Chain A
Amino acid sequence: MTSLPLAQKATGWFFQPVALGRVAAMRFLAGAFIWVDWWWYMPWILGHRHVPGELYQPLFIARILPVFPVPNHSIVVGTLVVLLAASIPMMFNKAPRLFGWIVAAAYFEWMIIAMSYGKVDHGKFGFLILLFLLPTMPKARWGDRRNLSEHVGWGFNLVQIGVICTYFFAAWAKIRYGGWEWVNSATMTWAIIRRGTEYSTWLLDYPWLLRLSQWGMVGFELLSPVVMFVAAKRLKYGIVAFFYLFHLTVFLAVEISFLPHMVAMACFLPLERIDPRDLIRRAPELPGRIRRKLQARNGIPGPRRREDTAKAAEPTS
């Protein structure tokens, strides 16, 4: 080890060890999202099986890599079948690396089918990185908090970079395309006219509030990289909770949910603490445990408080 301490610290940032249990949880979440994606989140992708090839507009990557055929009925349906079939063993930890690679490749093709007809959707960047990094991680058990790995730490660090880039560069894109005046423009008004809900259409009467929300959005997007450098865990989880709340608000206002982005973002959280088997085993005794906890909470601080007040009372009297 001849490298400088500073350089060690900088490289160490990429390799903060993560418990293997988180890998099992993320594999499950990624597979679960894929099962939700095709019929609920983006059902229109399957609709492309009926669209004539003349309306297919190949993306850059499809033009330089001649491995992506012009989608037709059997290619669209076949990709979906492979994707769904491979995602099940990945979710339940059967040969998760092999099936992880199949899922990553099939999902990439699924995205090519989705995005090559004149509209590219964003917000799946972090999820795509997640799918390509999960197969690099070892087989793992739920709830494994003992085995730590720097390999896994690096993978999730890169997924987190992808998630945060989505925010940070979204602000940058607004400045690039919309200019600095974006924050004062009628973009949110336009968004709500197009896809407002009963929770948001009343906002059209208060354009200043919508403008304020645009300032807030750009502010939080530009500040989002902070979460990558926060050491205090509670603060970090608090920031991530704020991100989730932001997406909940956006979903209620204009029904855009960024679900895959939220799935990828889950790797910020200590999911290794979840052990489904343990939870199921302990479920019957859960009411009793809650009662004991409450009793303990009521029992222990009570006498202490009385002691404190008693002690405090003496000198004043």
Chain B
Amino acid sequence: MAHPCHTLAVDTQYAKVRPAGRAVRITISMVVLALVTATTFWGGDDFFPFAPFKMYSFSKELDGWAGSTRVEAVNEEGERFSLTEAATGFRRAELEGQKSRFVEDPTLLEYIAQAYENTNPDKPEIVTVEIIERRYRLEDGHQTGEVTEIVEATYTREGADA
């Protein structure tokens, strides 16, 4: 030791872990480490709280399209507006996560309309819900300014033709 240690005060306590406790605790640490390693290599989001920490882990092509998804709705009065997170409680990322479900079965979009109506009981009801993806063209990592929009799924309430 380079520095001389101060003599410990009399009322100082030093709590030691006994050998059996040490074995248990090291095992716990190793299990946590093993689970987080295993799920990183082979697991998916499904294994939350152990999961691959894949925030922004996908390679985006320098040449191609960068997409941005949103949901739009038309209400009984014919007004078109964006169904934002604040309006429904359902996030854009959650929509993107379940997008394949919605594309396969657009009637599921009715539940987004329900979420909106639960959140805003006083507002006019929704008749149409659409998932729209806006795509920005990239070339060599630059935005070219070229933008296209695609409607990926549409749901219209039965009997409604506002």
Chain B 80-97 near chain A by CB (<8 Å), digits 1 or 0: 000001101111011111
User: Can you list 11 residue pairs at the A/B interface with Cβ under 8 Å?
Assistant: A11-B26, A50-B115, A51-B118, A55-B115, A117-B94, A119-B97, A148-B12, A148-B13, A169-B53, A177-B52, A178-B59
Say yes or no for B151: interface residue by CB 8 A criterion.
Answer: no
Say yes or no for B11: interface residue by CB 8 A criterion.
Answer: yes
**In whole angstroms, how far apart are the Cα atoms of A52 and B109 in the complex?**
11
The one of B26, B56, B115, B140 in contact with A52, judged by C-beta atoms closer than 8 angstroms, is B115
Q: Is the CB of B89 within 8 A of A44?
A: yes
Q: Is the CB of A182 within 8 A of B138?
A: no
Q: Which residues of B contact A191 (CB under 8 A)?
A: 56
Q: Is the CB of B66 within 8 A of A190?
A: yes
User: Which stretch of A158-166, A233-241, A262-270 is in the interface?
Assistant: A158-166
Say yes or no for B51: interface residue by CB 8 A criterion.
Answer: yes
- Distance in angstroms from A205 CB to nearest chain B CB is 8
Q: Is the CB of B60 within 8 A of A185?
A: yes
Say yes or no for A204: interface residue by CB 8 A criterion.
Answer: yes
User: Which stretch of A24-32, A84-92, A120-128, A282-290 is in the interface?
Assistant: A120-128
- Distance in angstroms from A150 CB to nearest chain B CB is 5
Chain B 3-26 near chain A by CB (<8 Å), digits 1 or 0: 000000101111111000110011
When C-beta atoms are compared, the residue in chain A nearest to B15 turns out to be A149
Indicate the size class of the contact surface on chain B.
Answer: 35 or more
* A contact residues vs B (CB 8 Å cutoff): 11, 14-15, 17, 44, 46-52, 54-55, 57, 59-61, 108, 111, 115, 117-125, 128-129, 138, 146-152, 154, 157-158, 161-162, 165-166, 169-170, 172-174, 176-179, 181-182, 184-191, 193-194, 204-205, 207, 210-211, 256
The one of B55, B140, B143 in contact with A170, judged by C-beta atoms closer than 8 angstroms, is B55
Q: Is the CB of A60 within 8 A of B46?
A: yes
When C-beta atoms are compared, the residue in chain A nearest to B9 turns out to be A146
Q: Is the CB of B68 within 8 A of A194?
A: yes
Say yes or no for B103: interface residue by CB 8 A criterion.
Answer: no
**In whole angstroms, how far apart are the Cα atoms of A9 and B58 in the complex?**
40
- Distance in angstroms from B50 CB to nearest chain A CB is 8
When C-beta atoms are compared, the residue in chain B nearest to A47 turns out to be B89
Q: Is the CB of A124 within 8 A of B49?
A: yes
- Distance in angstroms from B61 CB to nearest chain A CB is 6
